[in-house]
Amino acid sequence: MLKFSYCNATDLNQALVQCRFAGSFGPLSSRRRSPRAAVSCSRSNLTPIQAVLSCQQQVGSDPVESELGSLADRLRLGGLTEDGLSYKEKFIIRCYEVGINKTATIETIANLLQEVGGNHAQSVGFSRDGFATSPTMRKLHLIWVTARMHIEVYKYPAWSDVIEIETWCQNEGRIGTRRDWILKDVATGEVIGRATSKWVMMNEDTRRLQKVSDDVKEEYLVFCPREPRLAFPEENNKSLKKISKLEDPVQYSRLGLMPRRADLDMNQHVNNVTYIGWVLESMPEEIIDTHELQTITLDYRRECQRDDVVDSLTGPELVEGSKIHGTNGSATAITREDDLDCHQFLHLLRLSSDGQEINRGRTEWRKKPT
Amino acid sequence: MVATAATSSFFPITSSPDSIDSKNKKLGNGSTNLGGIKLKPSASSGSLQVKANAQAPPKINGTTVVMTPVEGFPSEDAASSLPPRTFINQLPDWSMLLAAMTTIFLAAEKQWMMLDWKPKRPDMLIDPFGIGRIVQDGLVFRQNFSIRSYEIGADRTASIETLMNHLQETAINHCKSAGLLGDGFGATPGMCRKNLIWVVTRMQVVVDRYPTWGDVVQVDTWVSASGKNGMRRDWLVSNSKTGEILTRASSVWVMMNKLTRRLSKIPEEVRGEIEPHFMNSDPVVAEDNRKLVKLDDSTAQYVRKGLTPRWSDLDVNQHVNNVKYVGWILESTPLGIVESHELCSMTLEYRRECGRDSVLQSLTAVSGVGNLGNMGEIECQHLLQLEEGSEIVRGRTQWRPKNAKSFGKMDQVPAQSA
């Protein structure tokens, strides 16, 4: 799968060919401009943001000529917003993306978040590897890797619903960057979900983390909002919550999970969305049958490859000071005082062979709407 | 929902009883339909009459646009004269005919675009969402899909599972927009009353070229009778921009009582519901009648055990989605073949469903190398079964070396070892 794949230089050219600005027209360009020119557009004497905006406006005002733009761009129904600082795209939920609840699965949602993140990167001229490897990063063999992913879904879309996802990215600390998303139901306009993710920079050869140098920062920060804009602006929100490590003995487990061919990206690493599926594999069936996933937070620790075998472990999250709520004589979860139908769990994925942690997670579940 | 509003606008075409009943079942009248252009040599004075506007919706920049109901796209057709039924003929010179028609179509499209182009913001386009619409006398359903980044495989082309997901989506959407959806699965209201469901027994897929990320594919699907009590669903997948045929597929369905699990004849009232929607064309894929052998541990060279469904593999009935079987079949196909070859043809026989608690094993045997005079082609036999023995799917796949093009332009490849 083309996810978090570490592209080489030829891929950048290919990605730029598909760039929205490749077919654009206006004072800075001629009809069939070379792919490279799209990036240089942002290095002209205009400030980068102004250049981006002027290209964008040309696309909008000269539509007949835009036949030369890629057909997929026309149909992609996504584009940078007017200020150029975020990207929006619409998606229709297809029937095979819907699960046992007749609503989109969390994996579908996660796939769409990644799709729109990649399309955002591509639309500003960066390569499609899940976030954006800027030209300098590729020269230095630097890539982004996901450190944390946090998704909250308030209302799951059903088959043939159309949702709009807006995404943007920002600096985060010295070694990180974040990408945020807001999901809306196009028909009602209501926000149906939010997500945020934290990424760190790694050298793809040494696999060591690296600080975000200033010239790399400059390259991509022009496309990020200047003022901090958070999908989760509220204080002490759950996306910041530390996840404790689940200790043995665990209550629920599913052992011996193996990657399928379709789970692997071009570099034979398991893609991030597969981990979500694995985490849910060890959820007790009585919760899956009666509840839907409201929140999932995953901390990614270690990559997983084709021949790895993984154990998925789940246990209730113990909250200090709450009562233990017994069901059928066994403690399934701690209920929060204010929400009796909510269950919280901790998760751990580790290698079967030596117990090394791959990632840890936290989920919250609410009763299914009737 | 936006989607429902758009699909409801299609009912005027299909539910008008006069237009459906008066269609003549003219077999082989020589007219061929592609991309909404109807060539009717008999209807006009012997010349090819290209009606670009009757069937093909206006295109913007090569994009097929469905006008909103306000602009009255569907009602144009219902009001115009009833065109005779046309059929997709599998002519020997199909590729030439295709090329000629594509040229005509693109020319007409360009003309149309100039006449009626209106600037539209992307969020006003409806069909590119992929809702799809009925075309061609109300018998063919067409839907576009853009290939998303998570749908492609390691070689940057759409995976066979992605293609089959699209086929499944158009099948369901066809039933929905033709008013045939009593439940979520293409069972008509009459079938629901009698506890009958459609069950797929056989599927054949031929891939001439895989779409890549960013391509937009157009999927056409229609149904025909299959014998007395079966139904055949055909699909034609083409590159939305160039019209090149990418994939052809054909599936056979039988009716089963969902309570007794016994096969059933088609009751008269259900026949009345579905027959108006039958196209009764020739199959789009020539039927491969060769028997599929059942592999076992001694005849299979490759076995992958311990395959278990994940939550996301299950459909709303908690059965494993049919398309997932294909992924499992490929799990035991040797990596050497998968990496150097691409799947060009697949025949599947569905035997049994499986659910959440099933544990499966996938067996593969390489049954032929260099078949059919094509250097480098490999043929495999497959079996997907529960570990306790029950068969789920039998299959046969054919693989051609990657980068070998179809339509006779085979590259020279060194002989592949099996």
Quick one: which of A3, A289, A77, A101 has its CA closest to B153? A3
Q: Where are the alpha helices (DSSP H) in B260-334?
A: 268-274, 322-331
On whether both B220 and B269 belong to a single domain, the answer is yes
33-72 of A, contacting B, C-beta below 8 A: 63-64, 66-67, 69-72
Nearest-by-Cβ selection for B61 from A67, A115, A162: A67
Q: How far is Cα B166 from Cα A111, in angstroms, rounded to an integer?
A: 16
254-313 of B, contacting A, C-beta below 8 A: 306, 310-312
Average pLDDT over residues B378-382: 93
The reply to whether residue A98 touches residue B316, judged by beta carbons under 8 angstroms, is yes
Is B154 in CB contact (< 8 Å) with chain A?
Answer: yes
Quick one: which of B34, B142, B20, B18 has its CA closest to B85? B20
Give the pLDDT score at B206.
Answer: 96
* Interhelix angle A272-281/A106-123, nearest 10 degrees: 170
Nearest-by-Cβ selection for B215 from A72, A160, A186: A72
Within 10 A of B261 (CB to CB), how many other CB atoms are there? 9
Checking DSSP bridges between strand A324-327 and strand A330-334, what pairing results, if any? antiparallel
Architecture of the CATH domain A242-370: Roll (3.10)
Q: Number of structural domains, chain B?
A: 2
The reply to whether residue B129 touches residue A266, judged by beta carbons under 8 angstroms, is no
On whether both B351 and B368 belong to a single domain, the answer is yes
Is A309 in CB contact (< 8 Å) with chain B?
Answer: no
B240, closest residue in chain A (CA to CA): A71
Q: Is residue B375 domain-resident?
A: yes
Q: How far is CA B108 from the centre of its chain?
A: 26
Q: Which of B270, B287, B304 is the last residue of a domain?
A: B287
Give the pLDDT score at B127.
Answer: 54
The reply to whether residue A1 touches residue B331, judged by beta carbons under 8 angstroms, is no
Instruction: Enumerate the residues of chain B whose CB falls inside 8 A of the CB of residue A2.
Output: 149-150, 152, 156, 213
Q: Is residue B17 domain-resident?
A: no
Is A303 in CB contact (< 8 Å) with chain B?
Answer: no
Complex-level ipTM: 0.70
Nearest-by-Cβ selection for A2 from B152, B311, B312: B152
Instruction: Enumerate the residues of chain A whose CB falls inside 8 A of the CB of residue B123.
Output: 77, 90
Nearest-by-Cβ selection for A3 from B129, B149, B310: B149
B322: domain CATH number? Answer: 3.10.129.10
Is A77 in CB contact (< 8 Å) with chain B?
Answer: yes
Residue with tokens 């499986």: B354
Q: Which residues pair with A314 in a beta bridge?
A: A252, A347
What stretch of H or E contains B363? strand B360-369
What CATH code would you report for A76-232? 3.10.129.10
The reply to whether residue B123 touches residue A92, judged by beta carbons under 8 angstroms, is no
**The two structure tokens encoding residue B152:** 């492609």
Q: What is the length of chain B?
A: 418
On whether both B294 and B277 belong to a single domain, the answer is no
B183 close to B192: Cβ distance less than 8 angstroms: yes
The reply to whether residue B311 touches residue A63, judged by beta carbons under 8 angstroms, is no
On whether both B280 and B295 belong to a single domain, the answer is no
In angstroms, the separation between the Cα of residue B210 and the nearest Cα of chain A is 15
Q: pLDDT per position in chain A (370 positions), as tens?
A: 434 333 333 333 333 333 333 333 233 333 333 333 333 333 334 343 333 333 333 333 333 333 334 444 545 568 888 787 889 999 999 988 988 888 999 999 999 998 898 888 888 877 654 445 777 777 888 888 889 999 999 999 998 899 999 999 888 777 788 899 999 999 999 999 999 999 888 887 887 888 877 777 777 777 777 777 888 888 778 888 888 888 888 899 999 898 988 888 766 778 889 999 999 999 998 999 899 999 999 999 988 888 899 999 999 987 654 444 444 444 444 444 444 466 899 999 999 999 999 999 999 999 988 7
Q: Is residue B43 domain-resident?
A: no
Q: Is B319 a catalytic residue?
A: yes
Nearest-by-Cβ selection for B165 from A1, A96, A265: A96
Cβ-based contacts under 8 A for chains A and B: 146
In angstroms, the separation between the Cα of residue B37 and the nearest Cα of chain A is 21
Q: Is residue B101 domain-resident?
A: no
On whether both B204 and B300 belong to a single domain, the answer is no
Is B357 in CB contact (< 8 Å) with chain A?
Answer: no
By mean pLDDT, which of A115-119, A202-206, B104-108, B337-341 is the weakest? Answer: B104-108
- Written in H, E and C, the secondary structure of chain A is CCCCCCCCHHHHHHHHHCCHHHHCCECCECCCCCHHHHHHHHHCCCCHHHHHHHHHHHHHHCHHHHHHCCHHHHHHCEEECCCCCCEEEEEECCHHHECCCCEECHHHHHHHHHHHHHHHHHHCCCECCCCCECHHHHHCCEEEEEEEEEEEECCCCECCCEEEEEEEEEEECCCEEEEEEEEEECCCCCEEEEEEEEEEEEECCCCCEECCCHHHHHHHHCCCCCCCCCCCCCCCCHHHCCCCCCCCCCCEEEEEECCCHHHECCCCEECHHHHHHHHHHCCCHHHHHHEEEEEEEEEECCCCECCCCEEEEEEECCCCCCCEEEECCEEEEECECCECCCEEEEEEEEECCCCCEEEEEEEEEEECCC
Q: Which of B256, B287, B318 is the last residue of a domain?
A: B287
Q: Which of B266, B287, B308 is the last residue of a domain?
A: B287
Tell me: the pLDDT tens digits for B285-327? 888 888 888 888 888 889 988 888 988 888 777 788 889 999 9
Percentage of residues in chain B with pLDDT exceeding 90?
Answer: 23
Q: How far is Cα B332 from Cα B396, in angstroms, rounded to an integer?
A: 13
Q: Cα separations (Å) of A68 from A25, B55, B108, B241?
A: 10, 25, 18, 12
A3 close to A130: Cβ distance less than 8 angstroms: yes
A110, closest residue in chain B (CA to CA): B150
The reply to whether residue B150 touches residue A262, judged by beta carbons under 8 angstroms, is no
197-236 of A, contacting B, C-beta below 8 A: none
Which comes out higher in pLDDT, residue B99 or A122? A122
Question: Which amino acid is residue B334, in one-letter code?
Answer: P
On whether both B275 and B323 belong to a single domain, the answer is no
What stretch of H or E contains B399? strand B391-401
Tell me: the pLDDT tens digits for B247-263? 999 999 998 888 888 88
E strand spans, B180-282: 196-207, 216-226, 230-239, 245-257, 263-264
Nearest-by-Cβ selection for B149 from A74, A100, A128: A128
Domain ranges of chain A: 1-62, 76-232, 242-370
Q: How far is Cα A151 from Cα A238, in angstroms, rounded to an integer?
A: 10
Domains A76-232 and A242-370 agree in fold: yes
On whether both B282 and B344 belong to a single domain, the answer is no
On whether both B302 and B267 belong to a single domain, the answer is no
Residues 6+ apart with CB under 8 A from A95: A159, A160, B168, B169, B172, B173
The reply to whether residue B159 touches residue A114, judged by beta carbons under 8 angstroms, is no
Domain residues for the domain of B342 are 288-403
The reply to whether residue A71 touches residue B2, judged by beta carbons under 8 angstroms, is no
**The two structure tokens encoding residue B172:** 């369901």
